[in-house]
Amino acid sequence: MKIKHSLFTRRQFLNGLFGGWITALLVTFVYPVIKFIFPPYKEPDEVILPFSDFEGMAPGTVKNYAWGGKPGILKKNEDGSYIAFVGVCTHLDCNVSYLPDQKKFFCACHEGWYDEFGINIGGPPPSPLRRLFVEIVPPDLIIKREGVK
Amino acid sequence: MNIKKLGAGFQAWLDDRFGLSGIAQFLKEKPVPQHKHSIWYYTGSAILIFFTIQIITGFMLILYYRPTLEEANASVARVMTEVPLGWIIRSVHSWSATFMIAFVFVHLISIWVTKSYREPREITWMSGVLLLACSLFFGFTGYLLPWDDLSLSATKVGTDIPRSIPVVGLWVTKLLRGSEDVTGDTLTRFFGIHVCILPIFLVLLLAIHIYLIQKKGMSVPVEAETRGEDVRTIPFWPNFVFREMVVWLVLVGVLFSVAVFLPPSLDKPADLMAAAPEGVKPEWYFLFLFQTLKIVPPKILFVNGDTVAVLLMLVAGVLFFLLPIIDNKPLERKGKIITVLAYALVAYALIMSVWSLL
């Protein structure tokens, strides 16, 4: 079927073409700006620590290690096994500390509490501390992210 | 030719090029209404005075400050201990920020309860809300710059708050931090925002705000306006400005006195790996938000409590921005309820702030 009248004028067509072209051009400028603002970030898959540094820990005590840019906390349980956490509160990202006499993790920012296994038991934290896997392959102590083989 | 004549000649020459006499004439003729709420007119220029002091002391501090992980804390320590009069410059910068924000709050509440934002001053209010946001962001970014334990924890919390917003939240956090975590990049980024991006935005918004005030004139209380009374006025220049100057003088005197006797502290450099210190607190103007986040339960009806709190705050912010449009019948029941809301908000903020200090 042939339409008798044009759907838009020549001026509208040219304005649309010109506007579209300007928009496309701007998008090509905006994309690299956004890419630039967000630097690449990768959480480590695993950290390898010398086991000798942690071997002598008394049961019920903790030691810190670096998990990328975050503090990691390695705890030796009463039965001699090890348990590793990302030492960051699940509420609003503050670094937590371990209180050995109370057997609890504590976040000072908004008074969040976790038990000795990192389970949230008081205050605003919505979920347990993040757990990491511990593997001991002497002379190394390997701390891994979930799902990393 | 004497100096006086030369001066007059130069003035005429400038006037010919800029057309300044029109502005001078405008200021002489601009009426400032005199009534029982006139005292609130002085809060605007008080904010400007403190902002000017911020610019001057900021220019001075930037001569010594170094925005890197390794040097930030030490460079502030140097300002406090070695740079001649550095301690008082930093103290004035810190206190002037407090005074400025305090006056911003007073200015805001006075405009809310006198309903000065009603037609045709809606955009004046909206630009004011954006100026408030800029001021608070100034305070938030400035708080990190000394890079000590307290400022690091406050920043970790503050930049983590947007994360609870669905979809865009994580990107906002990343944008602020320059990473998933607070790092040295965050410090450099905050410095750039504090000294470069925010000043441009604030000055631009301020220009719009002040232009609109000139364009629409000073607001008079809604009761006087509806009764059609003739409100007594005084000229802006010189009568009103001279009165303002008295206020400025007193405020600057108080500011410097406080700054001399109560300089801000500087803790040991922040350690990204250390546990948050006890007694972490944000600046006083964020205390009510801080306390709110502290008492929100972890779960509200299966949803993360913080997400609910943050979304509620966002909605409140939008409603606040649109207040002049919502409050379109200021003299009726709705208008009166909205006025009571202002007092309720002040009461809430005060109670929460005091609670957080207990």
- Which class in CATH covers the domain with range B25-276? mainly alpha
Give the minimum alpha-carbon distance from A30 to chain B in angstroms, rounded to a whole number: 15
* Tokens standing for residue B75: 């460079």
- Long-range CB pairs of B246-251 (<8 Å, 24+ gap) are B247/B42, B247/B45, B247/B46, B248/B45, B248/B46, B248/B49, B251/B46, B251/B49, B251/B50, B251/B99
- Do B349 and B116 meet the contact criterion of CB atoms below 8 Å apart? no
- In tens, the pLDDT along A36-89 reads 998 887 888 889 999 888 888 888 889 999 898 889 999 998 888 899 999 999
pLDDT at A89: 92
3-state secondary structure of A99: strand
Positions of E strands within chain B: 31-33, 233-235, 299-300, 303-304
3-class SS of residue B53: helix
Does the pLDDT value for residue A149 go beyond 70? no
C-alpha–C-alpha distance, residues B335 and B178, integer Å: 44
Q: Which pTM was predicted?
A: 0.90
pLDDT at B1: 63
B interface test, pick of A38, A88, A91, A104 with most B CB neighbours within 10 Å? A91
| Structural tokens at position B14 | 């400038």
Note whether A124 contacts B306, CB cutoff 8 Å.
yes
Phi, psi of A65 (to 5 degrees): -145, 170
Residue B162 in tokens = 């947007």
Can you give the pLDDT at residue B275?
84
Write down the H helix ranges in A5-51. Answer: 10-37
- Looking at the partner chain, which of A71, A92, A107 has a beta carbon nearest the beta carbon of B293? A92
- Report the alpha-carbon distance of residue B54 to residue B46 in Å, rounded: 13
pLDDT tens-digit profile of A114-145? 998 999 998 888 899 999 999 888 889 999 98
What does the pLDDT profile of chain B (358 residues) look like in tens digits? Answer: 688 899 999 999 999 999 888 888 999 999 999 888 889 999 999 999 999 999 999 999 999 999 999 999 999 999 999 999 999 999 999 999 999 999 999 999 999 999 999 989 999 999 999 999 999 999 999 999 999 988 898 899 899 999 888 888 889 999 999 888 898 999 999 999 999 999 999 999 999 999 999 999 888 887 777 777 778 889 998 999 999 999 999 999 999 999 999 999 898 899 888 888 887 888 999 999 989 888 888 777 778 888 888 899 999 999 999 999 999 888 889 999 999 999 999 999 999 999 988 8
Return the domain boundaries, chain B.
Answer: 25-276
pLDDT of residue B76: 96
Q: How many helices (H) and strands (E) does chain B have?
A: 16, 4
Q: Give pLDDT, residue A118.
A: 92
* Predicted pLDDT at B83: 96
Q: Is the pLDDT score of A1 beyond 70?
A: no
Q: Which of A37, A64, A108 sits opposite B280 (nearest CB)?
A: A108
- Spatial distance between the Cα atoms of B320 and B110, rounded to a whole number of angstroms: 15
Assess B272–A contact: CB distance below 8 Å, yes or no. Answer: yes
Task: Give the one of A38, A107, A120 whose C-beta lies nearest to B276's C-beta.
Answer: A107
